[in-house]
Amino acid sequence: MLEVTAFGEGWTLEHEGGRLPAVVPGCVHTDLLAAGVIPDPFLGRNETGTAWVGRREWTYTAELGAASGHERTDLVFEGLDTAAEITLDGQLLGRTRNMHRSYRFDVTGLRGRLAVRFASAYTEAAAVRDRLGERPAAYAEPYQYIRKMACSFGWDWGPTLVTAGIWRPVRLEHWSTARLGRVRPVVTVDQALGVVELHVDVERTRSEADLHVEVRVGGRVARATVEGTSGTVRLEVPDVRLWWPRGYGGQPLYDVELTLLHGDEVLDSWRRRIGFRTVQLDRRPDRHGTGFTLVVNGERLFARGVNWIPDDVFPSRVTGDRYRRRLGRAADAGVDLVRVWGGGVYESEDFYDACDELGLLVWQDFPFACAAYPEEQPLRGEVEAEARENVVRLMPHPSLVLWNGNNENLWGFRDWGWEERLAGESWGEGYYLGLLPRVVAELDPTRPYTAGSPWSGSWERHPNDPAHGTHHSWEVWNRADYAEYRSEVPRFVAEFGWQAPPAYATLRRALPGEELAADSPGMLHHQKADDGNGKLRRGLEHHFAFPEGDFDRWHYLTQVNQARAVAAGIEYWRAHWPVCAGTVVWQLNDCWPVTSWAAIDGDGREKPLWHELRRLYADRLLTLQVREQGLVLAAVNQGARAWRGDLTLRRMTVDGVLVEDAGVALEAGARAVTVVGVPAELRPDGPKEFLVADGGGLRALYFPAPDREIRYPEPEFEVTVAPGAVTVTARTLVRDLLLQADRLDPAARADRGLVTLLPGERVTIGVTGWKTPGVAAARAALYCVEPSR
């Protein structure tokens, strides 16, 4: 039987002629940080002072032990970041140049000093650039010349911390006769009959040995002979339970065990969990353009999505528990799809396991983002090798429903001046429209592939045409008021978002001793977007008087604006189902403390946006919006049962006077949207009035003017405190009340975000982690919209 020995202990990192303890898996930065050689690059402006780390060579060493008694011993690296030379007592074992692959070296009978020497990623990228020529990119760093996590080189939300190291586990595998080299599972289902077809490649030490494989799934067993180095075993499982995305059904998972045998001797085994489900991507043309609708088990879905970036700029620090916490918060917010963005990595098994269990659909980008990528060697062979390995590695996961060729590169070629600058040089099109779809079709025919995001499906149309395929909506954040989200109905919004700073306690930890201001040195350093603060200001000024010199108001209002902006888009687009078939918010998470588009900040604290997503992505949503026919009420029902009930519409003044009210009978079918016009007598007249719709425990609000034009009363409310709860009773209209629980205690969390109270209404906010409750402290942590001054 194959024996596995973990090889994570006993490593050292050479540093200035000496040696430091090294943690494997890990990276140079984390080892230097643990040894006190560098300060925490996430604090203050320390990032700048650690830039030298990414420009040096680094060597890891360990002692390789004695032989095992097996015929063969392999040294297996699950991930090396990135350009490395591996030697054993000075003898070259091999060289690597791809972070996204694993590597295996035959070390049978060898022992001694193992060294893994990493070249600077800058040096490797420069060598490739000198050989293949310049290629344009959205950022100045050379990430397109090396198969490495692109955002290591910085992004408009991330620091420039160019890593090196043994970033995934290392092991020794000892085996005799044969071992399993690759198992490719093709899982299909027809009605209630599940079919598991395992394509097996083996590596042998003895070609004459008779081998067979045995597979067990759901109490069923099948066997097949392995001829030469490959074989296929097929097994049918009747009456399987289907795996569904969350909100549509359960997530039953089946254990699969494949055993490689020589006679009765077990040589090796492979174990995974699978789920039975079907997935299609409906891209048929219709009168609105070209659709982009995911269909799982025959059910057409409106995808309630978020974009995922690496959860730490040092990805070896992201544990299985951390994945589950973060993805659990996505599920808690009503999310049913997570897009793994192309500037990051193929995540670890823990990520996809969690998505399988939580019912989160995974849209997986291949790692290409915002740049022209050369298609010549040495990159082309690396791209194909990494694609083949990771497609097969991730195939068992039922949560994985879509492969995507790249992020924004097809769009960049057309709109960002690349075509002229490239002058005919390769830039990645051959990957996205040639190599990658061939690999997916060959290895994973059960899943759809799309060439890029955004992508209209044809060069005959603009790549980012909102009427065709996927669309990225960034003109609004960059240049307009978020009300412009309501000016069009894309078929599928794969990226859009609005910035806000992280939670107050996160800023206090990240910027120790700094007097916080929107433009203080640390705040500016932790704002990586081009003119980010300018865009935040212009976005605020469409709605509020800018709070000059008042950081606390600026912090609160920018978070309000983020939540409102995302709500403006999702409400409008969900209400246009099935023309629009999904929204994927940029972004769920952060990789460090930073002002960004994230709903959960770099310290894991939820912004008001996260709480707003819980409302926006719930099965049932009420929204008031202006259409061509005037003001309408839309009831969005993504549940499996019809929604019937009575709604109350109230036209009110901001001073709390009821002008007119009416009841409305509502019926929205399952997975459907109902839109009804608001009667003329209920439509608010100018900035002194607003409309409230209530029903089924849900509320929608419509204010016809921006806040800066509304003469709000001075907010008045009472506060009471009990263990684990803060209760607020409104005496006036209190708009967008927010308890910033982390101002009470850095460990405190509130169970809700922004809430608008009418006069006489009361809300109780649950609070955990607050050790010394008090009314004064609670009142100081409460914020709401105030009259313009």
pLDDT digits 0-9 by tens, 147-173: 999 999 999 999 999 999 999 999 999
Q: What is the DSSP string of 219-286?
A: TEEEEEEEBTTEEEEEEEESSPPBP--TTTS----EEEEEEEEETTEEEEEEEEEE-B--EEEE--EE
Give the total residue count for the chain: 789
CA distance 31 to 20: 8
- pLDDT number for residue 220: 95
CA distance 458 to 2: 49
Q: Decide if 766 contacts 740 (C-beta within 8 A).
A: no
CA distance 305 to 291: 17
CA distance 210 to 419: 56
Nearest to 430 by CA among 416, 415, 449, 451: 451
Q: What tokens were used for 480?
A: 């307009």
Residue 789 has pLDDT above 70, yes or no: no
Q: What tokens were used for 588?
A: 């769920």
Whether the upstream peptide bond of residue 562 has omega within 30° of 0, thus cis, is no
CA distance 737 to 559: 12
Average model confidence (pLDDT) for the chain? 97
**Cα 216 to chain center, whole Å?**
34
Residue 617 has pLDDT above 90, yes or no: yes
**What mean pLDDT do residues 308-327 have?**
98
Distance from the first to the final alpha carbon of the chain: 77
User: For 50-83, how does the pLDDT look when each residue is reduced to its tens digit (9 = 90+)?
Assistant: 999 999 999 999 999 877 889 999 999 999 999 9
Q: Sign of the CA dihedral 310, 315, 317, 322?
A: positive
Q: What is the DSSP letter of 131?
A: H
Q: What is the DSSP string of 74-142?
A: EEEES--BSEEEEEETTEEEEEEEBTTS-EEEE-TT--EEEEEEEPPHHHHHHHHHHHH----BSSSS-
Report whether CATH 3.50.50.60 matches the domain 3-173. no
**What mean pLDDT do residues 749-768 have?**
98
Domain made up of 177-274: CATH architecture? Sandwich (2.60)
User: For 441-482, how does the pLDDT look when each residue is reduced to its tens digit (9 = 90+)?
Assistant: 999 999 999 999 999 999 999 999 999 999 999 999 999 999
- pLDDT number for residue 67: 74
Burial of 380 (0-12, 13-18, 19+ CB in 10 A): middle
- pLDDT number for residue 788: 79
User: For 170-215, how does the pLDDT look when each residue is reduced to its tens digit (9 = 90+)?
Assistant: 999 999 999 999 999 999 999 899 999 999 999 999 988 999 999 9
**What mean pLDDT do residues 553-560 have?**
98
Identical fold at 177-274 and 621-709? yes
Give domain limits for the chain.
3-173, 177-274, 300-615, 621-709, 717-783
Q: Which residues pair with 576 in a beta bridge?
A: none
**What mean pLDDT do residues 21-50 have?**
97
Q: Decide if 59 contacts 114 (C-beta within 8 A).
A: no
**What mean pLDDT do residues 13-29 have?**
93
Among 47, 347, 386, 408, the one annotated catalytic: 408
Instruction: Give pTM, 2 decimals.
Output: 0.97
CA distance 153 to 473: 24
* Residue the block writes with tokens 């194959």: 2
User: For 109-131, how does the pLDDT look when each residue is reduced to its tens digit (9 = 90+)?
Assistant: 999 999 999 999 999 999 999 99
- pLDDT number for residue 508: 98
CA distance 85 to 117: 5
Domain made up of 621-709: CATH architecture? Sandwich (2.60)
Q: Decide if 632 contacts 702 (C-beta within 8 A).
A: no
In this prediction, residue 761 has a pLDDT band, given cuts at 50, 70 and 90, of: very high
* Residue the block writes with tokens 């392999």: 74
**What mean pLDDT do residues 343-364 have?**
98
* Residue type present at position 388: R
* Residue type present at position 671: R
- pLDDT number for residue 68: 80
Active site includes 761? no
Right CATH number for 300-615 from 3.30.565.10, 3.20.20.80, 2.40.50.140, 3.40.1190.20?
A: 3.20.20.80
Q: Decide if 46 contacts 40 (C-beta within 8 A).
A: yes
**What mean pLDDT do residues 310-314 have?**
98
- pLDDT number for residue 777: 97
CA distance 88 to 513: 48
CA distance 371 to 352: 27
Burial of 197 (0-12, 13-18, 19+ CB in 10 A): middle
